[in-house]
Chain A
Amino acid sequence: MTFTRVLLKRLLLSLVTLWLLSVLVFAGAQLLPGDVGRAMLGPLADAQAVANLNHKLGTDRPLLVQYWDWASHFALGDMGRSYNFDAPVWPFLGQALVNSLKLAAVAFVLVVPLSILGGVWAALNVGRPVDRIITVAGLSATILPEFVTGIVLILVFGVWLRWLPISASWPDGAGPLTQVYYLILPSIPLFLVLFGYIARMARAGMIEALDSDYTRTAVLKGLPWRTVLWRHVLRNALLPTITVVATQTGYLIGGLVVVEVLFHYQGIGGLIYNAAKGKDFPMLESGILTIGLIYTVATLLADMLYAALNPRIHFGASE
């Protein structure tokens, strides 16, 4: 198969996934509650008021019409109006995305180099205490819920030592450095979860590459160890890690919900949480679908990056 055809196939599959996702999200937000007006106003509200609200929101129309209306507008960039703010969804969502991106960026800038370094270091010392410490610490950090590590971090660095602010919301007009200062503590729970995954992949990739025939050949033909490591081992070892980094973006956004709630931060996670609390269905649907979109695009990009970096990949051969 040619690269273009593979690309088209992947793109098409992503579109199918996104379409299914939109159906699931729509079903979750519009179908399951049954009566949206009733869900918003509560069980004691007057029937006429519920009917009026449903009419105003358009939730008394046939479901297929509602789905088409919502999905087609979303595809064109119109995310509808928030029930609770009575204003378009997009400005809120856009601002929240920017905020989350800042938090995610701080977490990624910290975690990607450190975890790869950790994984590589562990692999170069397989079976020694360093390896065991990195592996066990990474694994333990990965399995703990973010709010558990977050609360301990807040207690230690925010309340007892008072080194870092316990809220991620910086004062208005704060410069980039101040913003980063406010984001350090919230990014650590995300860092901890990601570190284990990425370090484990990097370690496994390294061990496999170190054990391979081409590494042995490189060593036996007399290349300096440094050259073997950089040119032969690392290049091959870190390829799978790229995929892991990309797939973790999906996780990262899930982690953002908890971290942003814990640190009172106005990001996409906090937005989804507040929309869920306030039964603001258009906000909730748009937020969730946006996350799905980001994840799908990130996975697609990772696949392509992987293929571009690895000349041995021939799509289709493995399927």
Chain B
Amino acid sequence: MSVEATAEAAGALDASGPAAARRERFRLLLRSPTFLTGAFVILFWVACALFGQNFVPVDPYADDMMATLAAPSADHWFGTDALGRDVFSRVIIGSRDILTIAPLATLLGTILGTAIGLTVGYFRGLVDDTVSRLVDAVLALPLIIVALLALVAVGTSSVTVVIVIGLVFSPIIARTVRTAVMLERELDYVAAAKLRGENALYIMFVEILPNVMPPILVEATVRLGYAIFTVATLSFLGFGIQPPSADWGLAISESYGMINGGAWWTVLYDALAIASLVVAVNLVADAIHGVFET
């Protein structure tokens, strides 16, 4: 690929260190149409989440019992739901909760997973075996089912959704980090640090961590895609974001029983909105993967 060739050429010419390499990678990202498309859609939904409330035509939470399940019209561009709430306004601000919960869960999983991965990759041995078994056990169940079990057990709330998804992600991220750390720990700079008498914590977090950041970043963006997938699905199942939120998955859950009566507008726009966000995050993840893992 020409992109990789450019990256290599830049790396060879540029002897001024990691900061320049990082700048070069971001320049490559900004020239990637995949990244730009994805980032544009994500930014659009972030902007809607932040400022949508101020410019939507109708109050998204106001119900109107005189106009329930109204078809799309000039008054209600996307129609109204079973409570007479304006679907257009709700779709616009519907990304608020998912765009808070999914990134927080990813962040939690990444931090925990990195800490675990650094530890088991560096020390190996018994710790490593134990953690690997645990990962296998967790991975033997689909994420949705683990989340369902945990949410039933401790009760559903946004905080528990974040914690559950974060905890399930952490061993998966830990595995990626572990693989990277096991390669790094054999290198000379680690041996040098050991000879200098640095302690294990210093070596793990100050010496090794910066060098395994690219795979962590790639893994985190991929996980963000899964987090959005999972939060949306949990909300659809009634175990995620709770009413009266305008969340898309929740909206579909509330309305899909009525589509046989013809009220397609109560679910279609929400479905398209979720699809656009999921695809956008995956485009960005794909572009980052392409630039960082060469």
Contact = CB atoms under 8 A, between A and B. Distances in A.
Interface of A: 13, 16-18, 20-21, 24-25, 28-29, 31-33, 139-140, 143-148, 151-152, 154-155, 158-160, 166, 250-251, 253-255, 257-258, 261-262, 272-273, 276-277, 279, 284, 288, 291-292, 295-296, 299
Contacts of B150: 28, 32
B284 interface: no
Contacts of A17: 133, 136-137, 140
Nearest to B267: A151
Contacts of A253: 142, 145
B152 A273 contact: no
Contacts of A159: 259-260, 262, 264
A295 B145 CA distance: 13
Contact of A20 (B137, B152, B229, B237): B137
Q: Say whether chain A's binding surface is mostly helix, strand, loop, or mixed.
A: helix
Given A154-B256, A276-B149, A279-B152, 9 more contacts: A13-B133, A20-B134, A143-B282, A144-B279, A145-B274, A148-B232, A166-B259, A284-B149, A295-B140
Q: What interface size band does chain B fall in?
A: 35 or more
B94 interface: no
Contacts of B262: 159
Given A147-B252, A148-B271, A277-B238, A21 B140 contact: yes
B239 interface: yes
Contacts of B249: 145, 147
Interface of B: 133-134, 136-145, 148-154, 225, 229, 232-233, 236-239, 249, 252, 256, 259-260, 262, 264, 267-268, 271, 274-275, 278-279, 282
Contacts of B274: 144-145, 148
A272 B233 contact: no
A145 B278 contact: yes
Contact of A254 (B142, B152, B239, B275): B142
B140 A145 contact: no
A155 B267 contact: yes
Given A144-B278, A151-B252, A253-B142, A24 B137 contact: yes
Nearest to B274: A148
B278 A296 contact: no
